[in-house]
Homo-oligomer: A and B are copies of this chain.
Amino acid sequence: MISVEPTAAQSSTLDLQLREESERIGAEAHALVARLFPYCRSLTGDGVRETLQALRTVIPLEVHEVPTGTRAYDWVVPNEWNVRDAYVLDSCGQRVIDFRAHTLHVVGNSAQIDRRTSREELLAHVFTDPAHPDWIPYRHLYYRDGWGFCMRHRDLGQLDEPDYRVVIDSTLQKGSLTYGELVVRGTQSGMFLVSTHTCHPSLCNDNLSGIATTALIAREWIRHPRRHGARFVFAPATLGPLVWLSRNEPILPQIRAGIVVANVGDQGGPTYYRSRQDTAPVDRTIAHVFRHAASGNASIRPFAPVGYDQRQYCSPGFNLPIGCLQRTPNGEYPQYHSSGDNLDFVTAAALGDSWRLLSLALHVLDADATFINLFPKGEPRLGPHGLHAIAESLGLFWILNLSDGNHSLLDIAERSGLPFWRLLEGARRLEEAGLLQRQSGAGVPQKDRF
């Protein structure tokens, strides 16, 4: 009986219900972004640890430490980088560049330094963005040596003294890469993966928006368990997923769908990059959700080996059915990778809307199932079951017509043009009336089982 499914009872109003919740959740997500904003995240280091620790107030995240030197395919966990302070002092002892004012002022992974430099040498290590003179750009030196500072282009003129004292109080030494994971068991086989990167310092859309949204999705999954299990991964970009993959190869075949979450807090319309498989259930589901539930301009883009960690999940050795949800994609908004990507740039409404769409997609993926029409010859009479009045709105005739064992509810939703959540409620009503039966072994036509 579909009514034993945890969320099935509300399924017909699911879309509306999520719309209502999204306002509250959006505000909560924005507050979470604000709380995590000050930490100086990087590929490794305490900033990531502090971030994951803070998330543990929201979800019971398990934190993993992977030692420097650990191999992950073609990659190796590097030395851990931590920075306590970083600044440039003028002749009066004033900090003309100050890490304490903004984490972006120090180039990520900068080596320790404390000495006087000429103005020329300093400028050779200073990055600005003349096109956006009010914003501090974001730079790092991953897998390279060196040091550097970033600053607003319009402040560059203030560096008019002949020499400066440059201090970066950082360490780059054996330690570990830190990532967080939450594992939620399901009641049936198969699980979903939601993955977001954690290596960007005080930047909001890229990617505190993804961290906060993923955490709040995870919390719902715990509160309202679904049929499928789920894993929520918070890890530094590229290397993090590779480490996770290398440690989890045995469970990869269980992954039915996954979504990489990034840049989901700006006010642009939602964007989805398809998985390498192109027409995997996750790809079809997001397209369905965008069609029936997105407000504003939603767009679907083909897979490409660019962007975020779907690159790793979709590499040919894994080829997992994992796409990427964003709003305005990386590199397509001017604030990208600069201090313009701040707490004003991301909004509670956008965060809530992203949470809603992601929730809805995961719900569809979780609830999709194949049913069998028990009265396949002709249409059964609906009147005696009191179903006549709701037949059209819940797509009952569509469900009956296509429930031949070869069409799941998502298939029926796509062919009929009706939203999945209405068909799900319709299937529940038909099942209660004894006209429809859930196929044992979801997605596997019964006749193929012997």
Q: Which residues of A contact B (CB under 8 A)?
A: 72-75, 143, 238, 241-242, 245-246, 276, 304-306, 311-312, 314-319, 373, 375-381, 383, 397-398, 400-404, 416
Contacts and interface: CB of A to CB of B under 8 A. Distances in A.
A401 B73 contact: no
Contact of A73 (B75, B318, B375, B397): B375
Contact of A318 (B306, B317, B377): B377
Contacts of A316: 373, 376, 400-404
A315 B376 contact: yes
A380 B416 contact: no
A245 B312 contact: no
Most chain B beta-carbon contacts within 10 A, residue among A72, A238, A318, A379: A379
Contacts of A314: 401
Given A143-B383, A373-B316, A305 B400 contact: yes
Contact of A379 (B246, B305, B375): B305
Nearest to A382: B74
A377 B315 CA distance: 6
Contacts of A398: 304-305
A67 B376 CA distance: 24
A82 to B, nearest CB: 23
B305 A378 contact: no
A378 B72 contact: yes
Nearest to A416: B304
Contact of A317 (B72, B241, B377, B383): B377
**A72, A241, A375 interface centre (most CB from chain B within 10 Å):** A375
B379 A311 contact: yes
B315 A245 contact: no
A313 B45 CA distance: 67
A183 B397 CA distance: 31
A160 to B, nearest CB: 35
A87 to B, nearest CB: 30
Given A305-B400, A316-B404, A404-B316, A380 B143 contact: no
B306 A397 contact: yes
A240 B189 CA distance: 46
Nearest to A314: B401
Contacts of A315: 376-379, 400-401
Interface centre among A238, A377, A402 (most CB of B within 10 A): A377
Contacts of A397: 305-306, 311
Nearest to A242: B378
7 contacts: A74-B378, A245-B378, A311-B379, A311-B397, A316-B400, A316-B402, A318-B377
Given A143-B383, A316-B401, A316-B404, A245 B377 contact: yes
A319 B404 contact: yes
Contacts of A241: 378
In the complex, which of the residues A246, A375, A401 has the most CB atoms of chain B within 10 Å of its own CB atom?
A401
A403 B315 CA distance: 10
Contacts of A373: 316-317
